[in-house]
Structure 1
Amino acid sequence: MIITDTHTHLYSEAFDADRHEMIERALKLGVSRFFIPAIDSSYTDAMLQLEQDFPGHIFLMMGLHPTHVNTNFRQELQHVEHMLTQHKFYAIGEIGIDLYWDKSTLDVQKKAFRHQINLAKRNKLPIVIHCREAFDEIFDILEDEKDDDLFGIFHCFTGTLEQAYQAISYNMKLGIGGVITFKNGKIDRFINQIDVKHIVLETDAPYLSPVPYRGKRNESAYITEVIDRLSSLYQRSAEDIVAITTKNAIDVFKI
């Protein structure tokens, strides 16, 4: 049984003390594919090192995270473009708009998001979207950009049922992680109304630990809690959930 974590920050400083041991714990549980989102250029070397350390298991993305879009964003986007010519990446991500931390950068976040969508299209790659308090802003841009070359994943989906269907209409899978186990997560109330063919599994480690680890450091091994919760909500076996979501990930990332 191959479990795919479509979004995990394994290079995070939170794992500096036990990174290899943490990854080995996940591998022993069958989590054998880890998709690694970029944040900015300062993490590129660490991402490349991960790929060397765990060949065949690590699949890298390249992009500029919306919370790291600031005055030097054009330089950062040049780095993204340069890296795409130097190395194989499986997605442009994570990209998007975040209005939780800083609303003052909305204009440049929009520019960076749109630029990276077009980079993805030119390179025939999926996008992996970060959205925090910005569904309307992101949907406006996706509406402008929608075509056969636009596809990807709505990472850490936390919207409503209607927003889920709208995301799916733009050829996006829904990234489902630890939030599905939260009592106040809300998506557990309707997720079983969405066909499993539209979702992929993720952890967003070291963030958003599922119950019973909530409040502690998340890690990719904890994806099993997400699988168990989805199995209960869909009334399907864990093996079915894993098989379908892994196929969905393969379809998105073209591996």
Structure 2
Amino acid sequence: MLVVKLENAKPQAIYLPYHLNVQNDLLMMIDTHAHIYATEFDNDRDEVVQRAMAAGIEHILLPNIDLDSIQPMLATEAAYPQLCRSMMGLHPCYVDANVDETLAVIYSWFDKHDFVAVGEIGIDLYWDKTFRAQQERAFVTQLNWAKERNLPVVIHTRDSIEETLALLRTEQDGHLRGVFHCFGGTVEEAKAISDLGFHLGLGGVSTFKNSGMDKVIPHLDMNRVILETDCPYLAPVPHRGKRNEPAYTELVAKRIAEINDISVTEVLNKTTDNAKTLFDL
């Protein structure tokens, strides 16, 4: 759904001019969750990357979703080695009756490539609860991979915050760390996540008037906040409903700054430092 197969592709590394990162004294940003390997970017991926760098994007982190996404994701990372870093994991929406076989293949990749995180993983009960037990098993299995390999986890939740928190409370032994990506929950949920040692990924939803995030963001610990787009999805205002892209990360930062009555510089400095520490960038 998100991907295009590139079995015969031989990606050519593109070393983009570094001056794009520093012109006009740009503040650096990290898009910690972006699917720029998706087919939605096949016609203009180079232009999207150029806009990202021109906007001050220092890193774009690519979450894996299933077996079919591995090759295009790695091809994208290879094409933009200065900018992109990949994760490895199985998204809950792609968990099915063959979950154990799929997990075995996913796990084998950790010995073949250097990944910045285990992700994206989690529990999604919005569309279908058929494989709930398998989702939970896959989630716990991948949490243990993260402990084993000392990597952060990138967690997807939809209609499953409490279920996810319950499993994390059981598995947290002081060695788990990571982020609840695309956070759009309550103050109480944010505190529970932070208390477990996890970060909150804020993206386009934070700019939506009907999201309620203007009431939540002032109560968040900024030491636990990182920025993301989840592109091509969830474009921030004023691009809502259109294709999202990493260059729009700054729009999220500006909204956070506005809500908290602080400078965009403060938001960008803090969230970039948080991301670099979490993902060891």
Q: Does 1:142 align with 2:168?
A: yes
**Counterpart-to-counterpart distance in 1, 2:266 and 2:184:** 23
Give 1:101's aligned residue.
127
CA deviation profile, 1:69-93 (whole Å, cap 9, x unmatched): 0122112211221100110001000
**1:56 Cα deviation (Å)?**
2.0
The SS at the match of 2:36 is coil
CA deviation profile, 1:138-167 (whole Å, cap 9, x unmatched): 011001011211110000011110000001
**Counterpart-to-counterpart distance in 2, 1:45 and 1:129:** 21
Q: Could you tell me which of 214, 236, 248 is aligned with 1:210?
A: 236
* Gapped regions of structure 2 (runs ≥ 5): 1-26
**1:191 Cα deviation (Å)?**
0.8
Alignment of 1:93-242 (within 5 A): 93-242=119-268
TM-score under structure 1 normalisation? 0.98
Give 2:4's aligned residue.
none
**Counterpart-to-counterpart distance in 2, 1:131 and 1:33:** 24
**1:239 Cα deviation (Å)?**
1.1
- Determine what percentage of the aligned residue pairs are the same residue: 42
* Gapped regions of structure 1 (runs ≥ 5): none
Q: Does 1:29 align with 2:55?
A: yes
Indicate if the aligned counterparts of 2:97 and 2:131 stay in contact, CA closer than 8 A: no
Following superposition, which runs of at least 4 residues in structure 1 exceed 2 angstroms of deviation? none
Query: Whose Rg is larger?
Result: 2
The number of equivalent residue pairs is 255
**1:195 Cα deviation (Å)?**
2.2
**Counterpart-to-counterpart distance in 2, 1:186 and 1:80:** 36
Give 1:42's aligned residue.
68
**1:125 Cα deviation (Å)?**
0.3
**Counterpart-to-counterpart distance in 2, 1:160 and 1:46:** 35
**Counterpart-to-counterpart distance in 1, 2:210 and 2:86:** 32
Structure 2 residue identity aligned to 1:193: H
Give 2:5's aligned residue.
none
Indicate if the aligned counterparts of 2:118 and 2:153 stay in contact, CA closer than 8 A: yes
**Counterpart-to-counterpart distance in 1, 2:175 and 2:152:** 8
Give 1:79's aligned residue.
105
